[in-house]
Structure 1
């Protein structure tokens, strides 16, 4: 058996080998790859595609009502009903005078006129095989068919716009998740930098304590501060794990497979005046376009309801074959046209009222959405500009705090500054760096929100950005 250091070394070696074998290789994805994966499997996109497919089916169905219908049927029947049997014989061209009781009629006997013909009234069992082909041709239905077709086209365009809107919303969600991972990585660097500085303060404090410059409580304060920074590192790593989990779910990343993101990204910021951006948003926003198409569909619905007041004209033609056996059938045809006009129907007025009410509702929904969009664009535009200014301010604040902390540390090492002042300055520096990371993330999100409101958020409008400069400044 192995004892002592040998046993411990063997255990460490075994753990390292097992860990290296079980660790799954990490794969780095850029932003566009993440968007592509999300679009393929995200439930929202699947639902949007299904709605678009349903709308296409409605168009095909409505277009089909404009075309003639051809029906074919075959029937086999048997009956002893006098009227039915006589009709079968007529359709088979098999009716004879005997079917009217000619054999029972005696011209010399006047009473024969009162006899009931047995062949006509009691025909017995009789069967018929019938084959029929019928063509129905719609000519004019008061505009109902065209109205429904226009409705279907409008709803298809609305579904297509809804699909675009779903893609853009999903792109925005991926942007938030992707950049949250980048921000979490930067936050870990900030926390690790703070931990390194705290460890340096502990070392310096111990040297000064040994020289009699500091008291033990100052050294303990530095130790407590290091513990806080270690906890901050753990918290930052947990936040990164949560951000990666969120992104993995969003893009359908396989469970158990490591994921690493590549460069940070930043949406482009439109440089047009606010009024121009609002006009572009009202014209290009997919949600507004969808509502406009829904309004058009509601207007077409009025045409459909109005068709109930108009005459309907249809034509038909059929060819039949009837016989007492499958190989013995008599052909016949029918050609005709029909004009129907529902002159009095009190129910159709309710249909017209309902169609007009739907149009009013669609108009109100469109107006409300347009008003909200103007406000949304204005707020996103101002927030994006403010976020850009905040980034510049945070950058200057970090530079100022780094220089200030450098001077505080020099004074502390020379015994003219307290540990309290040193740790307070370091806390402010750490906070400034964390706020800079948050500012970069907020700027990306606000720019994305502006492009989303304008209906222009797509991967082509999102470019690679420089990493957050958390490593710049004075080395601790």
Structure 2
């Protein structure tokens, strides 16, 4: 029983739904749960790790190297013995050389003068010097174990490593801007979906009013047909109009359901209902200069310019000398880790490398980086002017839509009053049913046009918010 209750408690979040979700709650859920935002955050994390990589090059590298070898190659075996500090004169072939010297001593009969004459004989010297020592040329195979620690560190590379570190830092900042752009897009989609739902609800509300009016008209015409004051064709026309209104109402409800499905996708949770007032999106209040400074594309362009400045420094480093230090400590023997301290050795050194000529490649690379820097500088100015023009255009369109909305709101009120007037005149038998239905169609068109205009106006406000980086507000 306890296990069953525990399983039910754990499963509750899986079946949880969001009801009466506010816009603030939805935005919080989007930033926490949206998978595209999580992917963008992963990109930021990878770029931040690149900073650590760039910094790490300043500290050089420390390596443990272990070689386990076996060879009967004369050069290798002799080298192995030297590294192990075990080389003897026998390894040089002195055993055969001493045999020749012993023969000379024997033939000299103990007389030093005779020994000197024998050794001075060119033929004797050639024989001794041309002897190929077997010990040296045909050694036995030997094992060789070498354990050592190597450390290499750059001392001066013309500022290249410092520039790489700064570039990595700027690239991380660039990835944060990319992430913010994704956040802005999801905020934009979430806010737009919320206001779309509010507009659809308003549209549905108006359609229900129209439907009630048509149903009231249907009842009136039905009674008038029974009393002989109207024709059956009048009733059929009203029923046809009612079917059109019902079709529009059902289509609006389906669109609302689709909006809820998209909102559920954005917040990565099931959304059943939202809490939002039926009002238009407020215009952002800020100066034109602040709008431009907040724009992510302009910020990225400026960041790109800084990166090309640093890249110019990287290419300039090629004209300076490269200085590095090296240190090595280890030991070698024909057995692993044998007599380590007795056979240890060290090597330290400094290297300076300065390119004198490479076919002007470095000069060409530097010039290319300089032109790239100039290109990005022009792109920054172009981005500023282009986005400023786009902001002006959107603001103008928003103001135009706001004038249209005020006019259409009055038109809807008038159309509703006119319909009511025509409906009453029809009941009195003063006009035909066609006149009433025409006015009903005009009311529907006014309501539809108002909804479309409000939606278009909100879309432009959302577009402006996206441009000015509203996601950070």
Identify the TM-score tier after normalising by the shorter chain.
0.7 to 0.9
1:41 Cα offset (Å): 4.5
Residue deviations 1:262-308 (CA, integer Å, cap 9, x gap): 21475442345xxx32x112211122112211221122112222222
1:353 Cα offset (Å): 4.0
1:395 match: secondary structure: helix
Kept in 2: contact 1:101–1:120 (CA 8 A): yes
Kept in 2: contact 1:190–1:434 (CA 8 A): no
Structure 2 equivalent of residue 413 of structure 1: 427
Matched, 1:261 2:274: yes
> Partners in 1 of 2:298 and 2:370 — Cα distance?
21
1:339 match: secondary structure: strand
1:336 Cα offset (Å): 0.4
Counting only pairs closer than 5 Å after superposition, residues 229-244 of structure 1 correspond to structure 2 as 229-244=245-260
**What's the TM-score, normalizing by structure 2?**
0.84
Kept in 1: contact 2:65–2:148 (CA 8 A): yes
Kept in 2: contact 1:128–1:325 (CA 8 A): yes
Of 100, 104, 112, the residue aligned with 2:92 is 100
Kept in 2: contact 1:408–1:425 (CA 8 A): yes
Of 302, 310, 326, the residue aligned with 1:292 is 302
Kept in 1: contact 2:167–2:310 (CA 8 A): yes
Residues 171, 146 of structure 1: alpha-carbon distance in 2 compared, 3 angstrom cutoff = same
Residues 270, 27 of structure 1: alpha-carbon distance in 2 compared, 3 angstrom cutoff = closer
Residues 352, 24 of structure 1: alpha-carbon distance in 2 compared, 3 angstrom cutoff = closer
1:39 Cα offset (Å): 3.2
1:364 Cα offset (Å): 4.0
> Partners in 2 of 1:267 and 1:150 — Cα distance?
41
Kept in 1: contact 2:194–2:276 (CA 8 A): no
1:119 Cα offset (Å): 2.1
Structure 2 equivalent of residue 328 of structure 1: 339
Kept in 1: contact 2:18–2:269 (CA 8 A): no
1:328 match: secondary structure: coil
1:133 match: secondary structure: strand
1:149 Cα offset (Å): 1.4
Query: Superposition RMSD on alpha carbons, in Å?
Result: 2.4
> Partners in 2 of 1:25 and 1:288 — Cα distance?
40
Kept in 2: contact 1:284–1:455 (CA 8 A): yes
1:100 Cα offset (Å): 2.0
1:25 Cα offset (Å): 7.2
Structure 2 equivalent of residue 473 of structure 1: none
Structure (1 or 2) with the greater helix fraction: 2
Structure 2 equivalent of residue 6 of structure 1: none
1:319 match: secondary structure: strand
Of 51, 54, 68, the residue aligned with 1:62 is 54
1:55 Cα offset (Å): 1.5
> Partners in 2 of 1:266 and 1:411 — Cα distance?
36
Residues 367, 320 of structure 1: alpha-carbon distance in 2 compared, 3 angstrom cutoff = same
Residues 340, 26 of structure 1: alpha-carbon distance in 2 compared, 3 angstrom cutoff = closer
Of 388, 393, 416, the residue aligned with 1:374 is 388
Of 408, 425, 446, the residue aligned with 1:432 is 446
Kept in 2: contact 1:376–1:453 (CA 8 A): no
Matched, 1:160 2:170: no
Structure 2 equivalent of residue 202 of structure 1: 218
Matched, 1:191 2:183: no
1:415 match: secondary structure: coil
Structure 2 equivalent of residue 467 of structure 1: none
Kept in 2: contact 1:318–1:334 (CA 8 A): yes
> Partners in 1 of 2:248 and 2:376 — Cα distance?
52
> Partners in 1 of 2:185 and 2:247 — Cα distance?
36
1:74 Cα offset (Å): 1.0
1:26 Cα offset (Å): 7.0
1:350 Cα offset (Å): 4.0
Of 37, 40, 65, the residue aligned with 1:48 is 40
Counting only pairs closer than 5 Å after superposition, residues 13-412 of structure 1 correspond to structure 2 as 27-106=19-98, 107=101, 109=104, 110=119, 111=124, 112-253=128-269, 259-264=272-277, 267-272=281-286, 276-277=287-288, 279-326=289-336, 327-329=338-340, 330-346=343-359, 347-412=361-426
Q: Which runs of 5+ in 2 are unaligned?
A: 1-14, 105-118
Residues 148, 452 of structure 1: alpha-carbon distance in 2 compared, 3 angstrom cutoff = same
1:160 Cα offset (Å): 0.9
The count of aligned residue pairs is 430
1:313 match: secondary structure: strand
1:449 Cα offset (Å): 1.9
1:333 Cα offset (Å): 0.5
> Partners in 2 of 1:96 and 1:399 — Cα distance?
115
> Partners in 2 of 1:287 and 1:25 — Cα distance?
37
1:156 Cα offset (Å): 1.1
> Partners in 2 of 1:271 and 1:100 — Cα distance?
92
